[in-house]
Homo-oligomer: A and B are copies of this chain.
Amino acid sequence: MPETAPLRSAFYISDSTAITAETLGHSLLTQFEGVHFRQLRIPFVNSAEKAREAASRIEQAAREDGSRPIVFTTLVEPELNRILRGSPGFCISLFETFIAPLEAELGVKSTHTIGRSHSFNDNSDYQDRLEAINFALAHDDGVTMSGLDEANVILVGVSRCGKTPTSIYLAMQFGIKAANYPLIPEDFERGHLPDGLERFRQRMFGLTIQPERLQKIRNERRPNSRYAALDNCRYEVAEAERLMRREGIRWLDSSTKSIEEISTTIMQEIQLERNSF
Contact = CB atoms under 8 A, between A and B. Distances in A.
Interface of A: 8, 16-20, 23-24, 26-35, 41, 43-44, 68, 70, 74, 76, 90, 92, 94-95, 97-99, 101-103, 105-106, 108, 110-113, 115-122, 126, 130, 133, 137, 140, 164-165, 168-169, 172-173, 256-261, 263-265, 268, 274, 277
B277 A26 contact: yes
Contact of A24 (B23, B35, B268): B23
A111 B172 contact: no
Given A31-B112, A33-B111, A102-B70, A17 B260 contact: yes
Contacts of A95: 28, 31
A140 B138 CA distance: 12
Contacts of A68: 105
Copies of the polypeptide in the assembly: 2
Contact of A8 (B8, B98, B106, B259): B106
A32 B102 contact: yes
B26 A117 contact: yes
Contacts of A19: 23, 173, 260, 264
Nearest to A105: B90
A137 B44 CA distance: 29
Listed residue (A18, A41, A74) with the most chain B CB atoms within 10 angstroms of its CB: A41
B35 A105 contact: no
A116 to B, nearest CB: 4
Nearest to A168: B168
A120 B257 contact: yes
Contact of A111 (B31, B90, B133, B257): B31
